[in-house]
Structure 1
Amino acid sequence: MSSSARPHQAPGGTATAHDHGSRSHIAPEEIACGVVIGRASEYFDFFVYGIASVLVFPSVFFPFADKLHGLLYAFTIFTFAFIGRPFGTALFMAVQRRWSRSVKLTAALFILGTATVGIAFLPSYETLGEKSIVLLGLLRFVQGIAFGGSWDGLPSLLALNAPPGRRGWYSMLGQLGAPIGFAIAAGLFLFLNSSLEHADFIEWGWRYPFFVAFAINVVALFARLRLVVTQEYTQLLEEGQLEPISTREMVHEQGYNIFLGAFTALASYALFHLVTVFPLSWVSLGETQAIDSVLVVQIVGAFIAMVGTIVSGLIADRVGRRTTLGGLAVLIGVFSLFAPFLMGGGAVRQDIFILVGFALLGLSYGQSAGTVTSNFEPRFRYTGAALTSDFAWLLGAAFAPLVALGLSAEFGLVAVSGYLLSGVFCTIVALRINKVIETRD
């Protein structure tokens, strides 16, 4: 067990009252607050970069390329953070074992903030040439390392301490950070893009969201540390046997559960960037409507997703989380068949794609995290949940904008249908395998 997870001892080695069988109580609502704040700040960082990849980076860092290839180059670097996440998880789990959770979280968020602000200060391609692209890719990869290291275990702790019959409700709270983070990021870009002249926005206006991301990370850090460093939190982790297991041991002992969990959530994660980042790129490429109008619709969609996420908790507690996720996967599959018709049409049809997509995203993503976490042996859940999320992002969402835009430009929007259907297939198969495993056990 790590030094951060050892029982608290009074001087002389005498156990304190906390160790005398008295269970420490932190209200699930208090844990939920830390989860929502932490996840919203992380998703804000995600979407600031994602939106900038469409609106800014092709012009600032790839002015030598045409519009399509500029977007594809930007989306290629977009994937670097997702590639770096598992490495960040492994690295910072070692930091936690060597020092403590608070050191790990502080270091990860400091690095994340530094990388994010670093992007804001990057010179353009016209000023620095190819070095600016190299620095952008490096900072993006560092962001991924820090994202992986920022895992605090609060979602796992929340799930373990949820009242009976309410696990679906409490599990969705962490996922609520996604639409909140997107709404804030899109709103900020909408304000800047509509208030500034285009030249000013491209020159300096786009940098402000990255400064805001740093400030939000500082606030989120203190909000999470306030909970993470308490003795009550430490004791709850001990009671749940939530330990920072080494990645090598984790993969060797429970690797099948990591990938099963990642594939179980694939339909949701595939949909994630196809209703947030991809529509912006497709509209920007085809100039079918104003970008500001798309951002407005997406902000509305984010609020719809918030409602959907909340509703997913109610549905999951009534019919079960796996049933909810499987049913939504089927609906996502049906939705994917209409993608060419909707995104290939005018503004109204594109807006319908965005709004319906956000509704399905909220309902499905609300239960996508940790659906098979119970398969992990207790001591592996802390690290297992982190790595499962890392690989779900990597396999499902990291390459979605790049693949969807590249293939759609070449073969048509049927590529979006194919991408979503592949995620649906993986989710249904993984859920089926999970059911077989549970039945055998």
Structure 2
Amino acid sequence: MSSGSVAYPVYGPESAASLSRAHTDEDVTPGEIAVGVIIGRASEYFDFFVFGIACVLVFPSLLFPFMTRLDGTLMAFAIFAIAFIARPLGTAISMAVQRRWGRGTKLTLALFLLGGCTVSMAFLPSYQVAGLAAAGALAVLRFGQGLALGGSWDGLPSLLAMAAPPERRGWYSMVGQLGAPVGFALAAGLFAYLYGSLSSEEFLAWGWRYPFCVAFAINVVALFARLRLVVGQSYAELLQEKELEPVGVARVMREEGSNVVLGAFAALASFALFHVVTVFPLSWFALFSDRSMAEVLCVQIAGAFLAIGAVVVSGRLADRMGRRNLLGSMAVLIGLFSLATPWLLGGGAVGGTVFLLLGFVLLGLSYGQASGTVTANFSTLHRYTGAALSSDLAWLIGAAFAPLVALGLSARFGLGAVTLYLLSGVVCTLGALRINRLIEQRS
């Protein structure tokens, strides 16, 4: 699931020189920063997708056996959305923690909370053992995951952006976004192996619990990889030099709340597509087709690798045509893709496979540049917190309820409901980008 927004600083020739000074002082290269960014984001998204996949394959049977499979999945998706509701609160708390105790403390607390909540889910009892209390425990742990995700922004993508010459901003911007398809490929691969290797009884009894345990181990590795960079004195000085420090959430919303909203809506088409090609299709195929879930997961893994390539390509395209132009063009393509969604998802195995692969390519191209596209609107003082809040709002509006809404409406009214959902995100993105252009022209 940061998966967060990138707070982009003011670019200038002194940026590369500053990064070089940091390299001299601490022997940490921009390449190592890039690795830290990817590891950090991939670990967060691994946790995120482990939960999302379990909402389809595990939780309906484990927690809601007294419901139909459809209703049980919808209940699981409702719990899935809780993390995105909690995320802005986590951002507010974490910014206060960072101002008082520092970035390293904030990151350590966030990642241990994230890993602790995730691994605790591995010991979740079934409905037969604990009744509805099991679902309640899952909801509480999911809320904890949301708080942790709100506190996981570490500033490393900003350090990469500082080293970017103006003509390569798009390339540097896409690095952090690689964590999403990497995390999904790892989570889906692990579930595909367990689901295909075990009997249904074994998988539901204990097999599904392993990915949640693995998530904790990955978080520990990611924590040390990121702390090595984040707590360094030279890098802290660089962030202070660019005033990339937290301020109170209430102050940001009071003074630049319009920019927070504008930044969220500018990325909405990409965020809406995010779950429509990852979590939702898995539930649709599980409920309304006879395709093997292991087979669907393998197709999605192939799609994730295509998305990785598309994210990289987005960096090249953004440097040639401009990041906002690329985001607008991708929104139009997502709109066209949405029109074909009922035909593809309703077109059997071939149509479903085309939907997944094409959807992942579009996701990579759009999501690769979705973070921080309009954060230049923020004043320097508010950019660090404002970018995080914009991301939180985009996830909440565009992605939090996507699986629940898409599955519920499509089951009731048909797959045309998914088209309308995606089109609403497209309209919001194009409108926000247009408003942002008008603001720039007037300033």
Map residues 79-158 of structure 1 onto 2, 5 A cutoff.
Answer: 79-158=81-160
Computed over aligned residues only, the root mean square deviation of the Cα atoms, in angstroms, reads: 1.2
Partner of 1:364: 366
Q: Distance in 1 between matches of 2:391 and 2:341?
A: 26
Deviations 1:175-231 (A, max 9, x none): 000000000000000000011111000011000000000000000000000000001
Q: Distance in 1 between matches of 2:333 and 2:327?
A: 10
Partner of 2:426: 424
Deviations 1:360-394 (A, max 9, x none): 00000000000011111112111112111111111
**Secondary structure of the corresponding residue to residue 367 of structure 1:** coil
User: Do the aligned residues in 2 keep the contact of 1:160 with 1:240 (CA within 8 Å)?
Assistant: no
Deviations 1:390-437 (A, max 9, x none): 111111111000000000000000011000000000000000000011
User: Do the aligned residues in 2 keep the contact of 1:273 with 1:401 (CA within 8 Å)?
Assistant: yes
2:334 counterpart of 1:347 = no
Aligned-pair distance for 1:23?
Answer: 7.7
Q: Distance in 1 between matches of 2:19 and 2:180?
A: 36
Give the % identical residues.
65
Q: Which of 255, 261, 274 does residue 257 from structure 2 map onto?
A: 255
Partner of 1:25: 22
In the alignment, residue 81 of structure 1 is paired with which amino acid? A
More off after superposition, 177-186 vs 160-169? 160-169
**Normalised TM-score (structure 1):** 0.94
**Normalised TM-score (structure 2):** 0.93
In the alignment, residue 432 of structure 2 is paired with which amino acid? A
Q: Distance in 2 between matches of 1:432 and 1:158?
A: 28
Q: Distance in 1 between matches of 2:262 and 2:143?
A: 25
User: Do the aligned residues in 2 keep the contact of 1:269 with 1:393 (CA within 8 Å)?
Assistant: yes
Q: Which of 301, 311, 316 does residue 303 from structure 2 map onto?
A: 301
2:399 counterpart of 1:397 = yes
More off after superposition, 157-166 vs 335-344? 157-166
Partner of 2:290: 288
User: Do the aligned residues in 1 keep the contact of 2:19 with 2:163 (CA within 8 Å)?
Assistant: no
Q: Which of 376, 381, 384 does residue 374 from structure 1 map onto?
A: 376
User: Do the aligned residues in 2 keep the contact of 1:262 with 1:392 (CA within 8 Å)?
Assistant: yes
Partner of 1:210: 212
**Secondary structure of the corresponding residue to residue 45 of structure 1:** helix
User: Do the aligned residues in 2 keep the contact of 1:267 with 1:427 (CA within 8 Å)?
Assistant: yes
Runs of 5+ unmatched residues, structure 1: 1-20
Map residues 15-54 of structure 1 onto 2, 5 A cutoff.
Answer: 24-26=21-23, 27-54=29-56
Partner of 2:60: 58
Aligned-pair distance for 1:77?
Answer: 0.2
Q: Distance in 1 between matches of 2:364 and 2:91?
A: 26
Aligned-pair distance for 1:22?
Answer: 11
Aligned-pair distance for 1:28?
Answer: 3.3
Q: Distance in 1 between matches of 2:150 and 2:215?
A: 17
Q: Distance in 2 between matches of 1:107 and 1:265?
A: 28
User: Do the aligned residues in 2 keep the contact of 1:344 with 1:350 (CA within 8 Å)?
Assistant: yes
Runs of 5+ unmatched residues, structure 2: 1-17, 24-28
Partner of 2:12: none
Q: Distance in 1 between matches of 2:93 and 2:321?
A: 38
Q: Which of 224, 230, 233 does residue 232 from structure 2 map onto?
A: 230
In the alignment, residue 21 of structure 2 is paired with which amino acid? S
User: Do the aligned residues in 2 keep the contact of 1:156 with 1:381 (CA within 8 Å)?
Assistant: no
Partner of 2:7: none
Aligned-pair distance for 1:159?
Answer: 2.1
Q: Which of 178, 186, 190 does residue 188 from structure 1 map onto?
A: 190
| Consecutive aligned runs of 4 or more in structure 1 exceeding 6 Å deviation | none
Aligned-pair distance for 1:160?
Answer: 3.1
Q: Distance in 2 between matches of 1:400 and 1:261?
A: 19
Partner of 1:11: none
User: Do the aligned residues in 2 keep the contact of 1:262 with 1:388 (CA within 8 Å)?
Assistant: yes
Map residues 157-176 of structure 1 onto 2, 5 A cutoff.
Answer: 157-176=159-178
Q: Distance in 1 between matches of 2:170 and 2:114?
A: 30
Q: Distance in 1 between matches of 2:422 and 2:143?
A: 26
User: Do the aligned residues in 2 keep the contact of 1:124 with 1:132 (CA within 8 Å)?
Assistant: yes
Aligned-pair distance for 1:150?
Answer: 1.0
Q: Distance in 2 between matches of 1:434 and 1:39?
A: 28
Q: Distance in 1 between matches of 2:328 and 2:21?
A: 36
User: Do the aligned residues in 1 keep the contact of 2:19 with 2:162 (CA within 8 Å)?
Assistant: no
Q: 1:409 to 1:22 in 2, by over 3 A?
A: closer
The count of corresponding residues between Structure 1 and Structure 2 is 421
